Structure 1
Amino acid sequence: MKMFVEPSDIYLHRPVVDFRKSINGLANIVVAEMNLNVMSGALFIFCNKSKDKLKILYWDKTGFALWHKRLENNKFKWPNAEHENQLVLSEQQLHWLLDGFDIVGHKPLILSNLSL
């Protein structure tokens, strides 16, 4: 995902969200439920009940931006109820999520120095 900011952190809000909420409603969730600073420069990821839509909220130092993605034929692999209410993701995990992969079981790929 190409954006105009380099996020300090990436947070996934695990419980599903009513997607009638926009910037103000999602910002309230960040503050009230996640206990985080919504203006920190972090990305905050939300999913709808049918798991075919994502919203990503972030502050870019001039205002809030809201990114929305809808899948036409699939569903996002959203972490289920056995996991924490919020997860901290790496940039790689964000890309995996957006590409349709299950992020819970994956670990970032670590390349070691191999001598040939």
Structure 2
Amino acid sequence: MEDADLAAIRNKRMQELQMKAGDPNQAKQQAEAKQKYDEQLNGMLTQILTQDARARLNSIALVKPEKAKQLEGMLINMARSGQLGEKMTEQQLVKVLEQINDKKQRTKVKFERRRVMDSDDSD
């Protein structure tokens, strides 16, 4: 009885560990799906942007990846809605970047020091 119970516990534990680790086939499928998505994104951006604008977007992605993702999404939405008649040049891309920066609120911290009586002055 103990060997059967021990074997059942081992099998259950192995299944739990496999579920936590994830199925290797599932991880492979996710990697393939991400690669396919990236290829489609790059293809769309190649159709939307000139080479100079694409180079600028790539350099932005190196420094600020979150801003590059935001910009890519914005460009794709503009292309889907028909706002882009032709390929976007580098100067047009810079204008869109300026619009994004203007929309972003700047956080400002202001320090106000309390004026209290200082014990050093009374000596």
TM range (shorter): under 0.3
Relative to its length, the structure with more strand (as a share) is: 1
Q: Compute the TM-score of the two structures, normalised by the length of structure 1.
A: 0.26
Indicate the structure (1 or 2) with the bigger Cα radius of gyration: 2
Relative to its length, the structure with more helix (as a share) is: 2
Q: Compute the TM-score of the two structures, normalised by the length of structure 2.
A: 0.25
Greater relative CO, 1 or 2 (CA 8 Å, sep 6+): 1
